[in-house]
Amino acid sequence: MTMDAAPPFTASITQQIAQQIRDIHPGPPLEAGWLDPRLGALLLLTLTLLLIAALAWLGRRLWRYWEWRQALAAPPASDRRLWLGQLHDRLRQEGLRRWPASRSLQGAEWLAWLDSQGPTDFQRWQHHWDEWLYGHRQPSHAQCQALHADYLRLGRQLLLGRLVHPRGTP
């Protein structure tokens, strides 16, 4: 008996085995989808969570800067000494909150230190600062506007940082 002529029962067994094997699916070929769908879903979930975290971080910084802007309104035409006192208090509060070591600084040292923290020029007012706060003089409206601009620049530097000046330029 030759191998070419297999007995009929062998052919029926081969057909039965082929029927059983047909239920086992090998999956898609590798070129059709190289990434496991579960891994793709995990990657998508991770990217979504990172995006949400980045947006929350950015939103918090923008919200804090908005609060910084709202904490001190633009200088009024009258009673500028009261406004300057509010500016001084706001700068002191933020300074103590961020840098407890700044507690001992006063006068020209305080203003110079503030200027070292951001792109401001508070130090140019050192000759008038004490007279405005504790004396009977009050700053002009133009001086108050310049102080307010420095206040806003300091807030942008502290709260937004590299979002505003990515290359470190003022």
Q: Kindly list the domain boundaries of the chain, sorted by start residue.
A: 75-162
pLDDT at 168: 47
**Average pLDDT rounded to a whole number, residues 115-120:** 84
Q: Which residues of 57-74 are buried (b: 16+ CB within 10 A; e: fewer)?
A: eeeeeeeebeebeeebee
How far the first Cα of the chain sits from its last, in Å, is 96
Q: What is the pTM of this model?
A: 0.66
Dump the DSSP string for 41-59.
Answer: HHHHHHHHHHHHHHHHHHH
**Average pLDDT rounded to a whole number, residues 106-123:** 85
pLDDT at 79: 79
**Average pLDDT rounded to a whole number, residues 1-24:** 66
pLDDT at 120: 86
pLDDT at 57: 93
Question: CA-CA distance, 145 to 119, in Å (whole number)?
Answer: 16
% of the chain with per-residue pLDDT over 70? 79
Residue that has been written with the tokens 């006063």 in this structure: 106
Q: Is the pLDDT of residue 87 over 50?
A: yes
pLDDT at 165: 52
pLDDT at 102: 81
Which among 167, 149, 158, 152 has a CA at the least distance from the CA of 116? Answer: 158
